[in-house]
Structure 1
Amino acid sequence: MVAPPVAPDTSAADTPPTRRRDVRGTLLRIVLAAAGGGLVFLSFPPRTLWWLAPIGFAVLGVLLHGRKMRAGFGLGLVWGLGFMVPLLRWTGEFVGLIAWLPLALVCALFIGLGAAFMARVSTLPGAPLWMALLWVADEHLRSVFPFGGFPWGKIAFGQPEGWYLPLAALGGAPLIGFAVALTGFGLAHLGRDWKLGAPLVVLPLALGLAATPLVGTAPDQGTVVVAAIQGNVPRAGLDFNSQRRAVLDNHVKRTIELAEAVKAGRERQPDVVIWPENSSDIDPFRNVDAAAQIDRAARAIKAPIAVGAVVVDKSDNLPRNTVVLWDPERGPVDTYTKRQLQPFGETMPYREFFRIFSKTVDRAGVFQPGSDPEGFTMGPAKVAIDTCYEVAFDGVVRDSITAGANLIAIPTNNATFGFTEMTYQQLAMSRVRAVEHGKAVVVAATSGVSAIVAPDGSVTRRTGLFTPDALVAELPLRGEATLATRLGAWPEWVMTALGLLAVAFGLTVKRRGSRPTPGAGVGEEETDGGPAGAA
């Protein structure tokens, strides 16, 4: 008889030192993942360290290479927490952890899901390209789901100072995110394949520099003198609007002061005046006194004012976040109602369910969304109105541009977030939108930061926080559409589809590689990538 084969002794593999090394290795990877996400956070405004973002992606690329999808999800989740927890701290400034940490966790879970798929394609030929495409897909998913999406944290919004910014004119925010991720994943690939990694690092930067001349600034439809009014609020926090009359009075006062400066020759006469979101939380259609105050300001400045107001609609007696166009001679002549409402703020999805966890959900509003993207004709300008939260959504801003606008106004209210970084993050979005659509942008905030942004994304004037101010500037009116405006969402859809196709191919390769080979020995091992050694 032939003796049966003796199984090899593998007990040494389970010795305590080996297990300790495994634990230390796992802990090291977790720390590196959190640090990589932290680097991306540090690349965001108010800091100007835009170059840290590719390094953060390089860390993620190194960690994901050859990992199983489950490990990729875990590492991506930690990386996402390192990025999103500090980035979104402003959401809990006055309501605590109940808003901040769950939101950061949800965003990180989406990143973890994307990282799982990135791990799957990390060993395919051209892996950095597929991984960068999957990042675009991941951002797209976060922008539409759940509750209408939450695009805050798009990589493009951390790049208003960087070499990648001009790419916005070609393919919008998704193209910037793709270029940054591709650079980082290319850096991670340098040690494995210099011939592939080096071009993937250099190409996105070169494209950004080459696109710079494509960002037009010429006033092909003339110019307009714009004033952004920052009246300030009585105090920061959720209850700032408990003194709604004081907020309105502040904006009236600062506008009249500007009118006096114009009369004295210290400032130019504006053609257009932009007040912030919530500058009149008293409905001027129902309150005669509020209407009289706004009318007083408009007559003093001798220009139409876009007034951010809370208006209660007669049809259902429910509030709308509305911008009212107030003419100095005719009074209110047009309105724009905010289309993209902020969940858990202006609206409350599943209110009864979330009340189980916190009664603060009852502070969320019952605002109703608008549907018309068309803004206002104000003097020589056709002004797109994108109120506060709307500036984060690619499609919302583009719809207001394709309605015929040659200037963008962003009325916003940041008083509810105090001195946090939120206002700087939002200003960065406005700068990206300026380049994306080749239009000057006027940001008017109740408490700051208000700013004037040129079509090339540069900030020409800005205010401080919680100080009354008025910014006056002559801006170009541009009707020319950028390639990004004309293409719309197509670049994002194409990149998302290519990334998903790469995942499908990677999963197909895995299934084929995991099938037993006829006649193969039963002792052969398999890895996540197929037969032994394939990964």
Structure 2
Amino acid sequence: MAGALLAGSMPPRTAWYLAPLGAALLTWSLLGLAWRQRLVAGIMTGLAFFLPTLSWLIGFHPAGFAALLGLETVLFALAMLAVDARPARWWTVPAALVALEAVRGRFPFGGFPIPGLALGQLDGPLAGAAPLGGSLLVVGLATGAGAAVTALLVDGRRVRTLAVVGVSLAVGAMGILLAGRDGASAGSLRAALVQGGGPRGIPAVVSDADAVTERQVQLSEDLPSDLDLVLWPESSLAVSGPVTDTSEAARVAQLARRTGATVVVGLSESYDRSFRNAAVAWGPDGRIVDRYEKVHRVPFGEYIPARAFFESLSDLTALVPRDAVPGRGPGLLGTPAGPLGVVISYEVFFSDRVRSAVVAGGQVVLVPTNAASYTTEEVPATEVAAARMRALEFDRAVLQAAPTGYTAIIRPDGRVVGQSGLSTPEVLTATVPLRTGMTVYARTGDGPVLAVAALTLLASPLAGLCAALRRRRPGTVGT
């Protein structure tokens, strides 16, 4: 039941309060259990959480879905082993969930943080803590609030519990105050996001690349002339070899000259055994001024880790015929429109990629993405939620463009001020603020929250070890 409640809080649903309820039930169910029982409880809760939230993977590769479901469930169960099941140690439950989210964001193959517990909290009161400690702090506060409710009911030490809850609420309130400050404005940007539309449920490797480009071009013909930026989605262009001097590049250059805007296009450059997934910027004069190549690739989507081994288990060539070349450096485009932070598609789920762009000077964050492979709204909605969380964490407007949706315009406070439908051809325009300030989280990253979670989980074992050492210490002889 606890896992089902946690799953119910995930996008596209907005029932943020279900996560604290799930954490409360999870805490209650773990109290007094031996380690083997906690392991079983973790497996059952993990299955109930991940089975519905990863089901969108079944259409891609059923065996891959089963493998990922098993791995994520095992990670959840191992996190529950770290919990101290005594009522007085209730806060080890949210600490274990924070540690779990941190691990999932880094393992396996660089991390797979979908779904992320924090993404269900964007419409709740504790999301305002994101500028202080990022999504991990939001997870800790939301699940800690639920665990505290259980502690108040079963633990006799209510004063201490209320004190911990009070501190948590104060941290959340401080985050909301910090997020509301407007002391780092660098002007504004008039942007147009072009969503060409088209059918969904078609993997990128078999899509009609020319048709995708043509839809983008046609919809851009009537763009106004008062724009600073035009953003096209990931995979808007697909070319063989470098994009420079191709006919596709000439069409984008013409658009830039006609609108007098910087045009940023997500494109794919194919080679014999590899491809490059890039965001390329054309200046108002029609010349390419900068480019960024995707650093954090999608495992089994853009490359096959240990390809020879995994292809011996399953035919993956049709799914991923060639591997993406990993990019380098921060996601920053130097353009006439200003320094633009950029992350491509999957990278929006990783705060470190956005952090590198912001620290490098990005005043707004662009997310060219392609969610056309999915038939349901779950992945596009989850991606918008991730973009909202990144906006909150770093106090930056986020502009996300997808060929078939969701395309979204998100303000630095995480509010969505414009969002497209799915499959429809649409152009979203807005004036968004440019920012230069640095939030606390932009300066520190996940380190402080991870340190608190680790100390919380290690406190009981260390105390037990110290007590054992004291008992074994030989007594002193009086004189």
Q: Whole-Å Cα distance in 1 between the matches of residues 31 and 10 of structure 2? A: 26
Task: Give the SS at the match of 1:410.
Answer: strand
- 1:152 and 2:114 correspond: yes
Residue 328 of structure 2 corresponds to which residue in structure 1? Answer: 371
- 409, 419, 423: which is aligned to 1:466? 423
Give the alignment partner of residue 435 of structure 1, picking from 386, 392, 403. Answer: 392
Which residue in 2 is equivalent to 1:62? 28
CA distance in 2, matches of 1:506, 1:88: 39
RMSD, matched Cα = 2.4
In structure 2, do the counterparts of structure 1 residues 317 and 100 end up closer, same or farther at CA, with 3 Å as the change threshold?
closer
Q: Secondary structure at the match of 2:221?
A: helix
Corresponding position: 1:228 with 2:186: no
Indicate conservation of the 8 Å contact 1:305/1:326, yes or no.
yes
Task: Tell me, in whole angstroms, the C-alpha distance in 1 between the residues paired with 2:400 and 2:177.
Answer: 25
Structure 2 unaligned regions, length at least 5: 473-479
- Which residue in 2 is equivalent to 1:185? 147
What is the DSSP-based 3-state SS (H/G/I as helix, E as strand, rest coil) of the residue aligned with 2:431?
A: strand
- 1:234–1:240 CA contact under 8 A, matched in 2: no
Q: 2:249 aligns with which of 278, 291, 295?
A: 291
1:495-534 correspondence runs (5 A): 495-502=452-459, 504-505=461-462, 508=465
Deviations 1:225-249 (A, max 9, x none): 1111111234432157531011011
SS at match of 2:437: coil
Letter in 2 for 1:495: V
- 1:190-209 aligned within 5 A: 190-193=152-155, 194-201=158-165, 203-209=167-173
Partners of 1:103 and 1:510 lie apart in 2 by: 41
Unaligned ranges ≥5, structure 1: 1-34, 264-268, 516-535
In structure 1, which of residues 286, 297, 301 is the aligned counterpart of residue 259 of structure 2? 301
- Match among 215, 222, 231 for residue 274 of structure 1: 231
CA, structure 1 residues 247+507, in 2 after alignment: closer, same or farther (shift >3 Å)?
farther
Query: Which residue number corresponds to residue 21 of structure 1?
Result: none
Q: Which residue of 2 aligns with 1:319?
A: 275
Partner of 2:409: 452
The amino acid that maps onto 2:213 is L
Q: Deviations over 1:475-513 (max 9, x none)?
A: 111101111111122223312431342353376489799
CA distance in 1, matches of 2:445, 2:134: 8
User: For residue 46 of structure 2, what is the aligned residue in structure 1?
Assistant: 80
Determine helix, strand or coil for the equivalent of 1:112.
Answer: helix
Q: Deviations over 1:383-424 (max 9, x none)?
A: 110111111112121111101111011111000112230111
- Structure 1 partner of 2:211: 246
Q: Normalising by structure 1, what TM-score?
A: 0.82
What whole-Å deviation, never above 9, does each CA across 1:285-334 have from its counterpart, x for those lacking one? Answer: 26722222222322332211111011247xx9631111111224242221
* Structure with max Cα Rg: 1
- Say whether the 8 Å CA contact 2:331–2:353 is kept in structure 1: no
1:403-418 to structure 2, matched below 5 A, reads 403-418=360-375
Q: Secondary structure at the match of 1:168?
A: helix
Provide the residue aligned with 2:476 in structure 1: none
SS in 2 for 1:282: strand
Distance 2:267 2:163 in 1: 51
Instruction: Output the CA distance in 1 between the equivalents of 2:467 and 2:36.
Output: 14
Aligned runs of 1:128-139 on 2, under 5 Å? 128-139=90-101
Partner of residue 524, structure 1: none
8 Å Cα contact 2:273/2:323 also seen in 1: no
CA distance in 1, matches of 2:159, 2:318: 58
- The residue correspondences of 1:319-398 to structure 2 (distance < 5 A) are 319-360=275-316, 362-364=318-320, 365-398=322-355
Q: Which segment drifts farther, 444-453 or 143-152?
A: 143-152
Correspondence for 1:213: 177
Amino acid at match of 1:324: V
After TM superposition, give the deviation of residue 211 of structure 1 in Å. Answer: 2.6
Secondary structure of the equivalent of 2:60?
A: coil
**Cross-structure match for 2:477:** none
Output the amino acid matched with 1:290: E
Counterpart Cα distance in 1 of 2:412 and 2:40: 41
Aligned residues: 467
> In structure 1, how many angstroms separate the alpha carbons of the residues matched to 2:466 and 2:47?
31
- CA gap of 1:152–1:234, structure 2 versus 1, over 3 A, is closer
What secondary structure, in the 3-state scheme, does the structure 2 residue paired with 1:285 have?
coil
What residue in structure 2 maps to residue 48 of structure 1? Answer: 14
Whether the 8 Å contact between 1:37 and 1:81 is mirrored in structure 2 is: yes
- What amino acid sits opposite 2:391 in the alignment? A
1:418 counterpart SS class: coil
